[in-house]
Structures are given as structure tokens and as C-alpha cells.
Structure 1
Amino acid sequence: MKSAGIIIGSIIVSFAFNLFLIPHGIMSSGISGLSIILSMLTSINTGIFNFLLNFPLLILGYMKLGRKFIFYTILSVITISIALYAIPVIKLAEDSILSSIFGGAIVGLGIGIIFRSSGSSGGFDIIGMLLARRKDFPMGTLLFAMNSIVILLSGFLFSWDAALNTLVSIFVLGKVIDKVHTHHVKLTLMIITRKGEEVKQHLLGNVYRGVTVVDSVGGFSNEKSNVIITVISRYELTEVKTLIEEIDPDAFVNITETLEVMGLFHKRQH
């Protein structure tokens, strides 16, 4: 299922490049943007540069983010590279501003789907994932900050009109990613259950978040139970709800959005 999400998101990104961004000289973001620049300068296909530039970052991702993540990322990089090579470059819209807006939005949608499928499209996304895991910053904001180098390069090498259109595209891309990929949004769960120990073990074993367990007594029934309190990211909510329903369908769960988290949120990696 996640592999399908990776492939679909990658193909969406490739269509946005070849139909909206590349025909107007809009650089998009990160390694993909650098690949477009090199392709314009050398006439070598964008997909080839996309694969070559991603290779060292894939090694970094394997070392820091794990085997499963890097497998999905490699799948995305290969899919994007093949799709960029196979999909013809067609100017779908004549207006460059509209193309930068819609192209950025479609790329953001595709990358957001890839992130939600536990992968990345490679390049700056890997660096962004590393920073987001340490600091819990919005992914789109991080990518927008790092992609300033692409904007400057497109301005100096081509034209500042292209640079400004690239800026618009990257800004829209970041906003869409933050709407689709909600890893930085935190939720607090208060779970009242008579199977506290079992729920706790499953949460610790499958979600990798810390939990606090409090003994409680029902105000009406006087039955003993446990209150389990934990903080998760929004994209983990479906998995957690499924775990709770499997163990204790009668559990009472209160879910609230968390404004800010202080202290250790991520489990330390040994």
C-alpha cells in the first residue's frame, strides 16, 4: 500500500515538472530544481541528473533514517527519474505565473503523498526529514528555506523572472506539503481503558512514543481502569486508533490538538 503511494506521488511530481515547470524554465525545488538547471545547460535529460545527484544523499538517508525509509526513497527517486524521461515536455499553459502556481501545488501534493507513505523524493527532502525529526519544524517551511539556493541560481544563470516564478512555485509547494504531510502537528490522547497494560505495551511496541499511565476509578460505575496519556503526530492517529479498537473496543479516547511540546518527544535511537 505504501509502495503504491510512493509510486503515485512520484508520477504526480514528474507530470508537474514536464507539463508546468520545465517548459517555462521554472526550477522547482531542491535536487530536482538543480537537475532541471543542469539539463537546460547541457541538454542531458533531467531524469539522469536527478538520479546522479540523489545518490550520495540516499547513502546519508540510509545511515540516519533507516532501511525502510531509504527503500521507499530509492523507489521514489527511480520512479521520478524514469517518469521524467518517459513523459514528454509539453507546455500545458502559456502563462508562466499560472504554471508556477499550479506546478508548485501539484509537486507539493505529490511530495506530500510520498511523505505520508513513509518515504521522500530524495534530495533536500532527506535533509528536511532529518531536521524535522530533531526539531519538529513544519516540513514545507524547512524545504522553502533550503531551496533559496535554487532561486539564486535560476536568477543568475537564466533570468530574474524565472527566479521569481521559481520563488512562487516553491512557496506554494511548501504550503501544500504542510497541508498534506502533517508530521509536525501533534495530538494528545487520553485513553481510558480496563486493559491498560495491554494497550500500553502495544503503543510502546508499535508507535514508539512514551506513555503515562494513571490508575483511575469510574465516577458512575466505580470500576477500576487506567488512563493512558500520550502525544503522537497527526499522521500516526489512524494507526493508534486501529490498535486501540483491536485491544479494547470499549475504550474511551479523548483527542486534542497540542499547541507545543517541550521535552523529549521522539524515542532515542541507539
Structure 2
Amino acid sequence: MQYIGIIIGSLITAAGFNLFLIPHEILSSGLSGISMIVGMLTPMDTGVANFLLNLPLLILGYFKLGRKFILLTILAVTMISIGLYMIPVVEIAHEMVLSSIFGGAVVGLGIGLIFRCSGSSGGFDVIGMLIARKRDFPIGSMLTVMNGAIILISGFLFNWDAALYTMASIFVTGKVVDAVFTHHVKLTLTIITEKGEEMRQHLLTNVYRGVTVMDGIGGYSNTRRHILMTVISRYELTEVKSLISEIDSAAFVNITETVEVMGFFHKRVA
């Protein structure tokens, strides 16, 4: 279901671009916005530009971030690029205000579905995660600055009306993504298993989160156990439960909602 959800979300995202935003020269956020600029100013197709711009980041992310996350992101980027190439650019709404609002909403819906399926649309998401692993810098603030640069470029290359419509579109996209994808909800998982080292390696390889390992003794069986604790986003829960079952289907897992997280949530801390 993850793959189907990402494919559907990617095609919805591409449709939002080609049917609402691109006909009015309204840009999206991130590398998608840069791809749209390239498509508007050069003969290169927007889908091809999107794939080429994301390719080096995806290769780097494959080695630096969770393998499964990057594979799902590669699928999303590929499907968005194919969608941008195959879906014709048609002006559905002639009014720019309507196009910016509905285009932003459609793109937000598509990206939100991708996030709910444990992937991302690539681009600035991957850049933010890579930088966050090296420096303690808020990803949200960094993405805001990057998207602000897209708006400025739009204003200088086209006109400031288009830049303001781009800002409105990005704002609507963000609101819809937040409504579809509750990334701000954090969960704490306490995993009790006899296969602690295998579980630790498996989670660190496939999940972009830290894991703390402790020793324990079963109160009833009096046998040694490993206790692993990690904090994840709610959208990652389905994937993490599947990863746990792959190593130890009999593992005891306690899942609680977390009010607040302090420290290096985006870094792996063993």
C-alpha cells in the first residue's frame, strides 16, 4: 500500500503543477519550483529538470539517510517527473488567485499522501535532513529561507505579482500538507526483545531516528532482554512496526504519544 499511495500522491502533485500552477507561471516550493523555472525559461521539460536536479541529492541521501526512506523518495521523485512529462499543461482556471489557491491545495494533498506513506518529494526535504545531521539547525527555518529564495527568483525573472501568487500557493500547500500529514505528532516506542543487536542495526539502517539500548531481565521468565527506546513521527509508525516484526515478531512494544522532544531528534544517537 505504501507504493500505491506514493504513486497516487506523486501523480496528484504533478497534476497540481501542470493544471494550475505552471500555466500561470506560479511556482511551487523547493527544487520543484526551480524545475518549473528551468522549464519556463529553457526548452527542457519540467519533469526532466526535476529528475536531474534531484538525482545527486537522492544518491547522497541513499548513503547518508535511511535506505527505505530514500528508496520511497526515489519512487516519488520519479513518478512526479513522469507525471510532469505525461500530463499536458492545461489552464483549468483562468483566474490566477483561484489557480494559486487550488494549485497549492492539490500539490499539498499529493505531498501529504507521499509523507503519510513514509516518503518525501525530494529536493529541499533531503537537503534539510542532511544538514540537520551535521549541524544543530532548525529544519523548518532553513526550508523557509530556501523557499523565500524561490519567491525572490520568481519576482526578478517574471513579475512580482507572480511572486506573491507563488507565496500564496506555498502557504496553502503547507497548510494542506499539515492537515494530511501529522508530522508534528511524536511517539515513543519501547521495544523489549531477545534480539537487541539485530533490532538496533535494522532500525538504524532503515529509520532516520536515534535508538537507545538498555539491558533488562524478564520479571516472569528471569531471562535477559534488550530494551530499545526510540522516538519517531506518527507517520513512521507503520513502517517501524513492520521493521520490528521482520526481526522479532514476538517482541513486546509499548507505544506512547510524546508531548515534547528535546535534543537531537533528527540524529542517530546510540
Report the TM-score, using the length of structure 1 for normalisation: 0.76
Q: Is the 8 A contact 2:186 2:258 kept in 1?
A: yes
Give the superposition deviation at 1:8: 1.6
Listed one character per residue, the Cα deviations across residues 167-208 of structure 1 (whole Å, up to 9, x for unaligned) are 1111222333344444453223568xxxx4448678645544
Q: Could you tell me which residue of structure 2 aligns to residue 148 of structure 1?
A: 148
Q: Could you tell me which residue of structure 1 aligns to residue 261 of structure 2?
A: 260
Q: Could you tell me which residue of structure 2 aligns to residue 26 of structure 1?
A: 26
Q: Which of residues 210, 213, 216 is equivalent to 2:212?
A: 210
Give the superposition deviation at 1:10: 1.2
Give the superposition deviation at 1:238: 3.7
Distance 2:182 2:131 in 1: 15
The one-letter amino acid of 1:260's match is: V
Q: Is the 8 A contact 1:6 1:114 kept in 2?
A: yes
Matched, 1:80 2:80: yes
Q: Could you tell me which residue of structure 2 aligns to residue 162 of structure 1?
A: 162
Distance 1:41 1:180 in 2: 33
Q: Could you tell me which residue of structure 1 aligns to residue 229 of structure 2?
A: 230
Q: Could you tell me which residue of structure 1 aligns to residue 42 of structure 2?
A: 42
Tell me: CA distance 1:105–1:199, structure 2 relative to 1, closer, same or farther (3 Å).
farther
Tell me: CA distance 1:41–1:96, structure 2 relative to 1, closer, same or farther (3 Å).
same
Q: Indicate the SS of the match to 2:229.
A: strand
Q: How many residues align?
A: 258
Give the superposition deviation at 1:110: 1.8
Distance 2:119 2:83 in 1: 18
Distance 2:172 2:250 in 1: 42
Q: Which stretches in structure 2 are left out of the alignment for 5+ residues?
A: 205-210
User: What root-mean-square deviation, in Å, do the aligned CA atoms of Structure 1 and Structure 2 show?
Assistant: 3.6
The one-letter amino acid of 1:54's match is: N
Q: Is the 8 A contact 1:189 1:253 kept in 2?
A: yes
Q: Which stretches in structure 1 are left out of the alignment for 5+ residues?
A: none
Q: Is the 8 A contact 1:30 1:146 kept in 2?
A: yes
Matched-pair identity in %: 53
Q: Could you tell me which residue of structure 2 aligns to residue 247 of structure 1?
A: 250
Matched, 1:4 2:7: no
Q: Indicate the SS of the match to 1:255.
A: strand
Give the superposition deviation at 1:160: 0.7
Q: Is the 8 A contact 1:137 1:184 kept in 2?
A: no
Give the superposition deviation at 1:215: 6.9
Q: Could you tell me which residue of structure 1 aligns to residue 207 of structure 2?
A: none
Based on CA coordinates, which of the two structures has the bigger radius of gyration?
Answer: 1
Distance 2:18 2:76 in 1: 17
The one-letter amino acid of 1:119's match is: G
